[in-house]
Structure 1
Amino acid sequence: MTLVGLPHAVEQEADGALEPLLSNGLVDVSGNAAPSAPLGLRLAYRVSYDATTDEVEHRVYYPSLSDPAADKYVRVPAAIRALLPVVFLDPTRPLQLRPEGLLRQLVSDADPVAATAAFQALEVDVVAAATTLSANPSIEGVLDALVADAGPARRIGDAPVSAKDIRFLPDGGSLAGLLRAFQPALRLDDAGSLPLESHGSTTVAILSAAEALLLAASTHGAIIVGDDVGEGLDGPTTEHLANALRGAASQTWLTTRRADGARAFETSEFVRLTRHTGQRLAHQVVPPADRKEAGLHRHIQSQLLPALTATAVAVSEGRHDLSALSAADRRRSTPALPLAAHGVRLITADSGSGGGTGQIPQVAKLAHQLGYRVVAMVDGDPAKTAGTVLSDIEAACDALVRLPDSMAIERAILTGATATQLRVAASQVFPMYGLADPTLGKSDPDVSNVVMKVLHSKGLHEQFLGALLEETGALPPIVVAALDATATCSQPSYSGAKRIDLADPTATV
């Protein structure tokens, strides 16, 4: 890693290991750097294992002065590492006054003299209270009987032992043990004071985050490093914590599996790490070149970040397609598995200003920049086979799943259902949302067409699919086939055809 904007003390100590930087923050290795170029410090880490001696060796070294191929390492002195203002966010138990607790560090850093005096006063008071307890006649009489001269305890000391020689102190009476015994109890409601753990994991996580934030704010020029930020927190608190940490530090390096944590950062600051088929890669989004691309970047916050931990995204044409496919996917039952079980997240090419097949290649390009595998899901509109629409999608995506010829999502929903079943579903759904039942007075051959027209113009794909499922007892076969094909070709190990054209299960030969 390369550290820039170093404190003066670090530059002084690391003189000889500093290197000139380019405008992008990388080290200038050309040998022609300007004398006024800013300086940075590169550090590297290597761990090696010797099987013969069963030993592990860790090295933090200067790559500019070292030659790993020749086993030559110039290590970074501990004095320099101590000067780097790095704050690690450890998910430790909050509100701990014991020596290793973060609260203890904050209290001691704020006023070490007053903190020491407070702890010593606590020790004196506890010893005095314990002495009073031990001197209680009901306890002292029993203790005297236990250590009576006629009993086996007569020889445990150099002189006869009495009840006055016995005290009851937490953890033997040491200050560290005493502070370990002091655990936080909170009063958050009318239930009164309860142990911290009794308030639930979210309260514990929030207080841990608050301690970490206070530590970061009190460390000048801090570099904050945190792992799995947001685990145990609700969404808004996660975003607030990440945003506060970002503002409190010179640099903030956080890992998270939560979209809420990532939202606190600019798109250009995201680095998404992936491991596909054993290969580890890092991905960053290219800044938008024009207004059109800037509008496309709305997909990042709205759809791609929520898919943060998915392996692949399946891009549908529009919101109606997404609604219908998502509804069917949620209703799959064992032994069938939903797309989430395959690491796939369903999204749409519509960013709010219209979707369609023309947008899919652009969304795919953006998703690829973040390291997702991309599968397109399109309908069977014949117009798309005339030009380069499908070939453009194929070129931009890892795979393409296409509904049968002339079949849009509305017709796909209705496959496998009889006219009677469609009538029942229509009578249940459309009037509920203030629409007339379009099947009334229509002949059976016309029922599917009139239902499709209403769905296309008014939506209600999810609601109609749910009602139809109650009547048929099974999901539409072509929708199931589309989901199955998407699950198959979304896997990084998939090596089949790039384009899958689904067959119409209702077609006759």
Structure 2
Amino acid sequence: MRVTRVLIEGFRGWGHLDVRPGSHVLVAGVPRAGRTDLITALARVLDPDAARGAALSDLHQRPIIPDGADPAAAEAGDDVAEEQAEAVVEAPAADVACAGVAAEEDAFGDSGATPQAPPAVLQRVEAAQVEVTLTDFDPDVQQLLDGVLEPLEDSGCASEDPDASADAPLCARLAYRLSYDEEAESLESVVYFPARSNPTLGQYSRVPAATRRMLPVVTLDAGQPLQLRAGAGLRRILDERAAKAGAAAFDALGQAVAKAVSALSADPAVAEAINAVLAVGGTGERIGDAPLTAEQVGFHAEDGSVAALLRTLRATLHLDAGGMLGLAQHGSTVSAVLSMAEAMLLSTVPGAVVLADDFGDQLDAPATEHLAALLRARSGQVWLSTRRPEAARAFEPTEVIRLVRHGGVRSHHQLTKIVDRKALVAMRQWHTQLLAALTAPTVAITEGPHDVAVLSMVDRRKPPFSLPLSAHGVRLVASGTGGEGGIGQIPRVASLARQLGFRVLAVIDRDKDSAQTSDELAKIQATCDAVVRLPPGAIERAMGDGLPLQALAHASATLTEYGIPDPMGGQLTEAAVTNLCKVIHRQGLHEQFLEALYAAEPKAHEPPVISMTLGLLAMAAGPSYSGKALIDVPTMARPAGT
């Protein structure tokens, strides 16, 4: 069985969502974009036990404009951001670094100077509605749903055409409706068949809980592993596989414990200690009808039952030279792997729809990918929500539904099948580049890996008062690795990122004007939200612009450690700097050169052009940015006398 459509209206943070998966589904995206809400909505329809979690907050709240409010006030912040962007770009070279810091703080909201829109007035919807379309039933389930089956269209929706082909596959729609009765101050929910109901008139053909329990649907709920207490995963597995043998084993445990405790009570050392207590002030003679001695004192676990004993048992494992240790002492990953293994064993229902939220949170990377691949292979259809890119590696790119949140509005994005040969080259970077940015709102695409290395190194060495790109939700990626990179690949990677709902920025070199460069720039701007362009001379020149020649010469001299002559040879000239840039580019010594710059005394040699570029990226990363689409980073003059 599989789900062909999920239609959500007014449930939690979703005002509207219409998802039509083709096969398996990996739900990922930025925080607060609705991953858990989507999995919960599915469970409310398909799992009869999930309705117990209903709350008033499940009803979506829509913002409304209050009477007398100024609709233009909400746009004030955008206008201010644009003015700041222009001021930074047009500032004199000496003031650029300070302006970059100020713009970055303002973009992030630290300055407090941006006018705030009036608080939104929220109105709760009358009812939340989740409709799920199912198909590919086995014969038993199809017979169970006889009377509510409908023809299925290629779009994944149930057909409303009375003349639909008799050969069309069959589907069934189940819907969950949640409303709030203000007079009774209570939530009312119903799961019904839309094909035989009329919600407008309050007429519902309810889906019996027994029918939903017959559907092959499994919700993974990983808990503490290897527990033998009633209701625990291992106990359920034992009861399903060998209930009588398990009961006999527990009876034997009870008898053995009773015998051992009896022997403990009769032990001379224990008896002597008990008698000593009872002898104090004649206690043993006063508290009973007859004098009490150690022979009349026994012990048992809590209420005396085996169940009480099983609740106290904890698994121990012998995994290495450390010997037999408690499960907790082996680390959280071991517990998480065993817990997921139990959950998967309990979910082995042929052809089932498997639901799991926050998959892989406690797993290491290989285990996350392996178990996700195992679930995908064994399920009729799996719906996993995750924060882990490793889980997405087990899925086809077209099976990933990425949820995003721009300006407080949620949306979903999914790749379509790519047949264009050139676009396939960009698709290769799904795993190598974009997958690592799965939960980031924004990606900044550079021309190649050296650009990423330089920008990343300067970004992570920012002073404490300056926020890194990660604080603005930006992930740096290269447009290619090796020979497939370059400015010509940026539009293809950007188009792929846009399909997945990223806000897309680009960092490019400022080449000499020509018809080719103008065409390349136009293509990049057409696929990106904003473009930051370095000064003439590419990333190698940008690393040294604005720094004293003595600092560059000192850092250049350290490159001899890598078996090459000193590129500047101690010469304090611009020609020597040009040769240095060529050597760094040819030898790929970008990070090594930066390391030498940062190690120099005095330690004030942060590349100002690169720092400015990072500040502009941070400013353009916000969805409210409305400044220039092409931001040129100015060239910075060297300090006088250097």
Say whether the fold is shared (TM-score over 0.5). yes
Aligned to 2:221: 90
Check whether the contact 1:373–1:492 (CA below 8 A) recurs between aligned residues: yes
**Is 1:399 aligned to residue 555 of structure 2?**
no
Tell me, what secondary structure is at the counterpart of 2:635?
coil
Aligned to 1:17: 148
Residue segments in structure 1 that go unaligned for 5+ positions in a row: none
Q: Residue 101 and residue 313 in structure 1: after superposition, are their counterparts in 2 closer, same or farther (change >3 A)? A: same
Aligned to 2:575: 446
Number of corresponding residues = 502
**Is 1:329 aligned to residue 459 of structure 2?**
yes
Distance 2:137 2:291 in 1: 66
Distance 2:413 2:203 in 1: 32
Amino acid at match of 1:222: A
Quote the offset at 1:166 in angstroms. Answer: 4.7
State which of 341, 344, 348 in structure 2 corresponds to 1:210. 341
Check whether the contact 1:403–1:501 (CA below 8 A) recurs between aligned residues: yes
Distance 1:80 1:336 in 2: 58
State which of 463, 466, 491 in structure 2 corresponds to 1:361. 491
Aligned to 1:493: 624
State which of 253, 258, 262 in structure 2 corresponds to 1:122. 253
Amino acid at match of 1:452: C
Tell me, what secondary structure is at the counterpart of 1:121?
helix
Aligned to 1:293: 423
Distance 2:150 2:364 in 1: 43
Quote the offset at 1:79 in angstroms. Answer: 0.8
Check whether the contact 1:271–1:282 (CA below 8 A) recurs between aligned residues: yes
Distance 2:630 2:191 in 1: 49
State which drifts further: 328-337 or 17-26.
17-26
Tell me, what secondary structure is at the counterpart of 1:283?
strand
Q: TM-score, normalised by structure 2?
A: 0.73
Deviations 1:400-433 (A, max 9, x none): 11123x241111100122222111111112x222
Within 5 A, what are the aligned runs for 1:370-389? Answer: 370-383=500-513, 387-389=518-520
Aligned to 1:47: 178
Deviations 1:121-146 (A, max 9, x none): 22222222223323334445665764
**Is 1:184 aligned to residue 315 of structure 2?**
yes
Distance 2:232 2:288 in 1: 42
Tell me, what secondary structure is at the counterpart of 1:254?
strand
Distance 2:198 2:505 in 1: 44
Aligned to 1:76: 207
Aligned to 1:505: 636
Aligned to 1:462: 591
Quote the offset at 1:198 in angstroms. Answer: 0.9
Within 5 A, what are the aligned runs for 1:239-388? Answer: 239-383=369-513, 387-388=518-519
Deviations 1:180-201 (A, max 9, x none): 1221011111221111101111
Amino acid at match of 1:469: Y
Quote the offset at 1:69 in angstroms. Answer: 4.2
Q: Residue 457 and residue 384 in structure 1: after superposition, are their counterparts in 2 closer, same or farther (change >3 A)? A: farther
Distance 2:136 2:304 in 1: 48
Distance 1:253 1:208 in 2: 19
Distance 2:286 2:199 in 1: 68
Q: Residue 17 and residue 351 in structure 1: after superposition, are their counterparts in 2 closer, same or farther (change >3 A)? A: farther
Amino acid at match of 2:504: V
**Percent identity over the alignment?**
44
Distance 1:193 1:502 in 2: 61
Residue segments in structure 2 that go unaligned for 5+ positions in a row: 1-131
Q: Residue 401 and residue 46 in structure 1: after superposition, are their counterparts in 2 closer, same or farther (change >3 A)? A: farther
Amino acid at match of 1:104: R
Tell me, what secondary structure is at the counterpart of 2:487?
coil
Distance 1:387 1:257 in 2: 39
Quote the offset at 1:503 in angstroms. Answer: 2.0
State which of 378, 396, 412 in structure 1 corresponds to 2:542. 412
Check whether the contact 1:422–1:447 (CA below 8 A) recurs between aligned residues: no
Aligned to 2:36: none
Check whether the contact 1:364–1:374 (CA below 8 A) recurs between aligned residues: yes
Q: TM-score, normalised by structure 1?
A: 0.92
Aligned to 1:153: 287
Quote the offset at 1:389 in angstroms. Answer: 2.5
Check whether the contact 1:93–1:204 (CA below 8 A) recurs between aligned residues: yes
Tell me, what secondary structure is at the counterpart of 1:493?
coil
Distance 1:272 1:325 in 2: 27
Q: Residue 220 and residue 399 in structure 1: after superposition, are their counterparts in 2 closer, same or farther (change >3 A)? A: same
Quote the offset at 1:477 in angstroms. Answer: 1.1
Quote the offset at 1:93 in angstroms. Answer: 0.3
Check whether the contact 1:310–1:343 (CA below 8 A) recurs between aligned residues: yes
Quote the offset at 1:338 in angstroms. Answer: 1.2
Quote the offset at 1:150 in angstroms. Answer: 6.6
Higher RCO structure (Cα 8 Å, ≥6 apart): 2
Distance 1:164 1:20 in 2: 78
Q: Residue 68 and residue 413 in structure 1: after superposition, are their counterparts in 2 closer, same or farther (change >3 A)? A: farther
Quote the offset at 1:351 in angstroms. Answer: 4.6
Q: Residue 384 and residue 12 in structure 1: after superposition, are their counterparts in 2 closer, same or farther (change >3 A)? A: farther
Check whether the contact 2:553–2:571 (CA below 8 A) recurs between aligned residues: no
